[in-house]
Structure 1
């Protein structure tokens, strides 16, 4: 049997927690905090593989193993690795209070509607994109992915960071509210447990039935009437539906909407969970995008400027949507393709631009495909009958980066 004991935050372990164990595994501070049997072997937890191998030897001999872990070991903790290696039937888990639960308690906030993302030993970009997309996020930190790095990446976001350090230690615990810029300017050391990233306008939210992030929208490819737009200058819902299918926006992704116009694609990507940057050269277009994002309750970062120059300095996207046309379109698509990690989708009306866009995508190492969309909508006629009203045809091209061809792609 393997007994896994979470130390929790603000609680002490019973002295007899390791009684009868032939092997005790844990961080040095955990091993020092309990009474260990004199005959027990002790392993200070570092690389996981050697510890798992040692545990396997004791399990094979039917000897008791005790694993001491921080917080709740079943929450981004060692229980997963142990269960995969030895099976759940061999585990006896005693959960402590997680650092996330404690941090929200210290902040006086409910957290059934929070998104929790780990940046410990993982790319920070996913945590950053989730923080941009959701109003209440807990980030589990790690070396190189702490509050300073998170704050630097979120300088332009309307967020407050709650930095929780040494949770559960009466002498050293600190919980501080700072701006992203304030977090970026400090050296936080290694004691940070978790960072809460909050949009304070929406930290309470509505009463929930299902815990976790808000569910996806009931529908997408919304009618054009759901957006403020100018002179029907908006990506039609038939085109938007296929564009969204090819973009595949999801929580943790970053999507660019270049030449965003009304921002309909940007808003729909944000509704599906992605962090979104909309780039628009017209000042009135910028205001429309902001109004449409507010109307649909999503965050869209709007960059006022003309691509490709306006793309400089933006974080590398997972997916890009390019709308509009012009002689510069192939060059713009090529630049977007060089930065995109997964896919680029281009909507255009002019047949003459199709070869150049295809060449731009394939030249960047993407596999390219496309379709000409021609749709006719039902329109009423006198006498309670209908006709078909044809919409202007639109070419939709998309390029997908092969999974093996990621060398040199910005992270």
Structure 2
């Protein structure tokens, strides 16, 4: 049996831990945990650093099957929450674990603020790429980020400062330590300018305008479920002279974009921002690019009306795209005119997963397709023609045809998607 004790945030070991330690043949934990525990003389101990060698030694003790083979693991907070329990269960089986959890740093940090956290998204950047945490912070109003070396408050703040400066970062350090605990509210820019050391427990990223009012009683924890409806009717968006992606086109575009929490989507030539807003409703972080000032204001108004965050950048593509620092996971291109081939080329060079292009002019399809295939995408497309029910006098109905639109999409083969294991 492997007994795992969560010390809680700054809390001493529970009483039953002393008896377990007295009978242990091996004790595993971080240096601070081992120093704080009363270990019997002569007991073998492992200071956790690299996980794989520690697990190898644990396996040797487990195989002995004697009293001296008893293993005790000391961990912070709740070891089943982004903790060592996952690695132990995968290696030895959950049935061989006796887990005694403490209070997680996430629960403690929200408690310090007096906020509930059943509606928060928790994302780990410890030993992981920071970009997922950044995109979640952009798209969700209440996020807890578990940090690590190279993915701390400074790096998170630097990534958010240019794209989401309205967020407030709450940096919680040394939680539970009566002498050194700090809970500080800073802007992303202020976080980026500080050296936070190694005592950071967790960083909360909050959108004040969307977290002041408590959400109603919830049934399911975590981020809100995906939208009950999508491909919304054009009447649900402010637009100019019907310059908006029709819902039939938007439905297939969304299916090919595949927006989801933790990803970044660009909407180029966004117009009213209908595609941008719908992607944000699915949980993606979204940047909408539109060249006209009134168009940008319209996108902001539509995003606010639907309760989502969309970053709006005014400028003409493809030139303005060089100002966008973060590469997108997927791109929708709904405008571009004669610059369309150049826009597709730039987007295909930066998109990690997919590019979707909507075109009314059929003669622009070959150049757009060549740009996608030239960038290594698998390409496909369809001409969409639909007829909607329309009333006629006398209580009868006719079919009213909409303008045909060609939808082209390119998908990067999985073997070429950065970070996807093969």
The answer to whether the 8 Å contact 1:164/1:192 transfers is yes
Give the whole-Å Cα distance in 2 for the aligned partners of 1:365 and 1:247: 17
Q: Please point out which of 186, 201, 215 is paired with 1:205.
A: 215
Q: Alignment partner of 1:377: what SS?
A: strand
1:28 partnered with 2:39: no
Q: Report how far residue 407 of structure 1 moved.
A: 6.4
Report the Cα distance in structure 2 between the residues aligned to 1:358 and 1:77, rounded to whole angstroms.
46
Tell me the residue number matched to 2:270. 260
CA distance in 2, matches of 1:132, 1:52: 37
1:67 aligns with 2:73: yes
- Counterpart in the other structure of 2:144: 138
Q: Distance in 1 between matches of 2:64 and 2:417?
A: 46
3-12 vs 34-43, greater mean Cα deviation: 34-43
Q: What are the ranges of 5 or more consecutive residues in structure 1 without an aligned counterpart?
A: none
Query: 2:122 corresponds to which residue?
Result: 116
Greater CA deviation, 52-61 or 225-234?
A: 52-61
Q: Secondary structure at the match of 1:193?
A: strand
Structural RMSD (CA): 1.4
Partners of 2:418 and 2:41 in 1: how far apart? 52
**Partner residue of 1:306?**
316
The range that moved more, 334-343 or 207-216, is 207-216
Structure 1 residues 277-336: Cα deviation after superposition (integer angstroms, max 9, x where no partner): 000001111111000000000000000111112111311000000012422101110000
Matches within 5 A, 1:254-333: 254-314=264-324, 315-333=326-344
Q: Distance in 2 between matches of 1:270 and 1:53?
A: 44
TM-score, structure 1 as length reference: 0.97
Displacement of 1:10:
2.8
Match of 1:363 among 349, 370, 374: 374
Q: Does 1:99 pair with 2:115?
A: no
1:408 and 1:160 mapped to 2: Cα distance?
29
Change (3 A) 1:408 1:162: closer
Specify which of 250, 255, 268 is matched with residue 245 of structure 1.
Answer: 255
Indicate conservation of the 8 Å contact 2:390/2:398, yes or no. Answer: yes
Which SS does the other structure have where 1:8 is aligned? coil
Q: Which moved more, 1:299-308 or 1:28-37?
A: 28-37
CA contact (8 A) 1:325 1:349 kept: no
TM-score in terms of structure 2 length? 0.95
Q: Partners in 2 of 1:397 and 1:340 — Cα distance?
A: 15
Of residues 125, 134, 151 in structure 2, which corresponds to 1:128?
Answer: 134
Which residue of 178, 185, 191 corresponds with 1:183? 191
Displacement of 1:37 in angstroms is 2.2
Aligned residue for 2:56?
53
Unaligned stretches of 5+ in structure 2? Answer: none
Instruction: Output the CA distance in 2 between the equivalents of 1:119 and 1:325.
Output: 37
1:21, 1:407 → 2: CA distance? 44
Displacement of 1:98 in angstroms is 0.4
* In structure 2, distance between residues paired with 1:152 and 1:385: 60
- Give the stretch that moved more between structures: 112-121 or 55-64: 55-64
Q: Distance in 1 between matches of 2:158 and 2:106?
A: 22
Cα distance in structure 2, aligned partners of 1:26 and 1:349 = 62
